[in-house]
Each structure stands twice: as C-alpha cells, then as structure tokens.
C-alpha cells in the first residue's frame, strides 16, 4: 500500500488553511489511500469507511515546501548536515505539558496522570535508546523529556491540564489560543480525536509560526501511553514518539519516495543513514525492500506498528539536536556538564517512594568532580554505590527487591558504605581515576559508565534490601 503525498498542491499548514475540515476533505489528484482494495479520494471518506482500525492514517503531518525562517543552515527544511557539533555530548531536557481534551461530560478522551507518565517514559526510552527497553536498538540522542513541574507563571504544576469541551475533543475550534503554554519554552501535546488520524503536528521547527500558540503536537487520545486503550497495533505510545520526531524536524522515512542516493542530505528525508523507501510500511514486513535496499521499517518515522518501531538513527539525532539549537533554543534545557540519563525500573521501598539516584559535578574526566546522590531511601539504613560499563536488567531474587540495573563486571564502592541517616539520603564522591574494579581502572574520555545504589531496607517484611534506578553518564 502506498500513501501518496498528503499535502501536494497546498502551501498551507493544517491549522492555517482556510478551513481545517476542508483541508481534511480536500480532493487530490489520484486516490489518497488504498486499503483492502478500496481507494479513497478524501480524508473524511477514509475515516468514515470503518477501515481506520485496520490501516489508519499514521499521521497527517506534512513536509513544508517553504524556506526556513531563521538560522540553522545545518538543518533546514531541505538539507541536513550531521556535523559532530551535534553529537549528544550534553543532555537536552524538554519540558512537556499534556492538554487532555475530553468531551463535555468528561466521559470521552480521559487519560490519567499515571498513563501520561508512561508516555514520558516511552519518549525517554525511544529518544535515549535505553537498554532493556523496546527502544534499546536506537541511537542515544541524549534528548530527554519530563512533565513540566512549573507553569508559565512560575507556579508548581503537574504538567497536565484537563479541558471538557466536546468541540475541542473533536479537534475543532481554536482551543490552543486559550490553553497553550508558552510554546517557545514548552512542548505542548494535545490529546483528542486528532481529526481521525493517529496524530499530527502543525509546525516543523523551521517554519513560520513555530513557537507561537498554534505550534503543537496532537495525538489520538487512545494511543497515548503504554498499553493504551486503542489496542493493537497502536497502543504502545509510538504515535507520540513519531510526532515528537516531526516536532524536532524529522520527516517520514519515505518522504518523497526514493530520493537520490548521491544527494541523500538534500532529497527524500534529507538523512543518509535511513535507507530510502518508496512508500510507508503499515505493518512489520521485516526484510521488505524498495529503492534498492532494505526498508527502514523499524524507524520511528515510518508508519509501522508500534511494536515494530525501535530506533532513531545517529543522523536523525544530529538533525533533531540541530533543530533544537537553532530553531527551538528555549524549549530544551542543556543539563550542565552533560550529566545523566536515569534508566531502569525502580521498585518502591518501605517509605512508599522510589529511591532515586542523581548526579552533580561534571562529566569531564579532567574535572574529576563527579558526585552521585541517592535519595528517598528508608532512614538509618546502610548502602553503597555500584558501577559498570554494561547495563543489565535483572530482577533480584531472595533478599532484594527491585532490579539490578548493571551487567558485566561490576565495581562496588564498599569502602564508602554510608548510612542514610534521618533524611534517607547520601552522597558518594566518584574518583574517576580509581574505579573499584580488580584491578582499579581510570575512566577514559568517550566511555559510558552506569551507576546504581544498593541499600538495606529492613523496615519491611519479605525482601530486606532494594535498589535505586540506574544512572548512565557519558564522559568527555
């Protein structure tokens, strides 16, 4: 099945077309889409056909044809330069606000905070290629996401707003005008019926209007989060991953068909390390080929099933980081020193909290000022730091709860055993010249090391110890 250019012949962006509904119904030359042998001439005809659940429009985002509107010559709408300047040396953190648009009665479109938190987890798994997750095969772009904990006025927030309005739930009306948080500083994600698609964006970062209230990601509410109510095959949160990829400047892997092999940074999806593809993948046909190479069916920017999607590439990472730097500079906060990527599931301890490991100082080997900080542990218990260059996810049997997040050869800072005291916290200085292996080793520039804290938890029945999350640091 081939999806033809959804926006050929129009220069308007979804929300700025004379009529949004008209844009969805716009007649185009040739069939829009062929599903189960039926051809559809309009979007609404397709959505009303009853076949959406079989083969929905994965997204109705477009590739703009206008020129760029600001700097960033390395990642314009028509060119990518995957320069080493955009290597993921430092962590870029993006504040997300979900606007949950429900029907007036609140009965349609509701998504719990817990479910939205799983979507944040999925974004981090996918954009960071976290080991032990479905995104493990992807490149670590060092872009991470968090629910905004402060609103534009500086008030404490959950990063989620709820609005009960059936018109808005049906993706009608200028709902963004009154609900958007400062789009230069927040990624605004709206959930509703997404006009019959799985999702879309209204602005690529290089386009006019990026950073204004209209600039947003829209996702079908039932696809959001892990094990979402949509059901197979679009229930593992990859709709939001796909659309956020667009929001950060990526095009579909099949953009404009095969493009040119000798001009892959200026044709097709303007990325060379994604194999060219003549049309989208609507399932998971492993090994399918077009354009003389294997199709990138596992890439998040295809139309594949959620469970089929597994990766962004290194050059896609460079393009996204370039787009943040030049077109969305305020939406991403660079974490000083390039510190850390938390990973690995945490099991709550006797305090009812998840013990968390964080870091301060610098990831620069020459500075040697790294400090690992564990918190939310039970009071007056003992613990110590672990480290390894290998990640692992092993449910610990016997006397321990939680997961051992390390694999391979593990170093133990048993000479620095600490008591959590009355605050349930402790800090461990890490001497990068003396990692406690046998024999001790020194951290080298370019190496990645993982850290975790084991601690006693004798205030509960059953297992008597637990773990924090794992924490990954790439040293420079």
Catalytic site residue from 243, 277, 281, 315: 243
Is residue 193 within 8 A of residue 167, CB to CB? The reply is no
**Listed residue (323, 375, 368, 327) closest to 349, CA to CA:** 375
| Helix, strand, coil percent values for the chain (each to nearest 5) | 20, 25, 60
Is residue 323 within 8 A of residue 312, CB to CB? The reply is no
What distance in Å separates the CA atoms of residue 328 and residue 186, rounded to the nearest whole number? 10
What distance in Å separates the CA atoms of residue 67 and residue 74, rounded to the nearest whole number? 13
What distance in Å separates the CA atoms of residue 454 and residue 471, rounded to the nearest whole number? 13
Q: With the C-alpha atoms ordered 360, 361, 362, 367, is the resulting torsion angle positive or negative? A: negative
Helix H or strand E segment including 243: helix 238-247
What distance in Å separates the CA atoms of residue 452 and residue 358, rounded to the nearest whole number? 10
What distance in Å separates the CA atoms of residue 271 and residue 323, rounded to the nearest whole number? 14
Identify whether 243 is a catalytic site residue: yes
Bridge partners for 371 per DSSP: 360, 429
Tokens 């292996």 belong to which residue? 437
Residues labelled as active-site residues = 243
């Amino acid at each position: 099945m081939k999806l033809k250019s959804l926006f050929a012949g129009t220069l308007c962006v979804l929300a700025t077309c004379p009529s949004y509904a008209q844009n969805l119904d716009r007649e185009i030359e040739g069939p829009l889409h062929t599903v189960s042998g039926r051809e559809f001439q309009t979007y609404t005809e397709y959505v009303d056909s009853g076949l959406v659940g079989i083969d929905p429009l994965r997204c109705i985002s477009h590739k703009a044809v206008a020129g760029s509107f600001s700097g960033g010559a390395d990642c314009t709408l028509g060119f990518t330069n995957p320069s080493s300047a955009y290597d993921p040396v430092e962590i870029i953190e993006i504040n997300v606000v979900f606007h949950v648009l429900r029907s007036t009665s609140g009965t349609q479109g509701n998504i719990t905070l817990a479910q939205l938190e799983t979507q944040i987890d999925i974004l981090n798994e996918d954009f960071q290629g976290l080991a032990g997750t479905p995104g493990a095969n992807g490149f670590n772009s060092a872009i991470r996401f968090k629910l905004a904990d402060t609103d534009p006025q500086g008030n404490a927030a959950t990063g989620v707003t709820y609005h009960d309005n059936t018109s808005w739930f049906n993706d009608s009306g200028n709902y963004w005008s009154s609900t958007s948080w400062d789009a230069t500083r927040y990624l605004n994600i709206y959930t509703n019926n997404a006009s019959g698609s799985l999702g879309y964006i209204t602005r690529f970062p290089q386009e006019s209007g990026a950073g204004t209230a209209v600039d947003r990601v829209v996702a079908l509410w039932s696809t959001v989060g892990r094990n979402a109510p949509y059901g197979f095959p679009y229930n593992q949160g990859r709709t939001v991953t796909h659309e956020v990829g667009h929001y950060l400047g990526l095009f579909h892997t099949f953009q404009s068909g095969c493009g040119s092999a000798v001009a892959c940074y200026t044709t097709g999806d303007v990325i060379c390390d994604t194999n060219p593809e003549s049309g989208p993948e609507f399932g998971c046909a492993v090994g399918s080929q077009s354009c003389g190479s294997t199709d990138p069916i596992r890439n998040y920017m295809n139309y594949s099933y959620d469970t089929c999607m597994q990766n962004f590439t290194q050059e896609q990472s460079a393009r996204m980081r370039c787009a943040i730097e030049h077109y969305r500079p305020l939406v991403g906060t660079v974490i000083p020193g390039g510190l850390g990527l938390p990973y690995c599931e945490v099991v709550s301890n006797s305090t009812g909290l998840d013990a968390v490991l964080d870091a301060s100082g610098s990831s620069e080997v020459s500075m040697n000022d790294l400090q690992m900080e564990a918190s939310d542990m039970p009071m007056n218990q003992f613990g110590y730091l672990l480290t390894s260059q290998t990640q692992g996810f092993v449910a610990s049997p016997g006397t321990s709860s939680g997961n051992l997040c390390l694999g391979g050869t593990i170093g133990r800072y048993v000479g620095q055993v600490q008591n959590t005291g009355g605050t349930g916290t402790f800090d461990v200085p890490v001497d990068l010249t003396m990692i406690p292996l046998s024999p001790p080793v020194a951290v080298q520039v370019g190496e990645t090391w993982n850290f975790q804290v084991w601690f006693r938890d004798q205030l509960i029945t059953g297992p008597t110890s637990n773990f924090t999350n794992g924490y990954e640091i790439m040293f420079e």
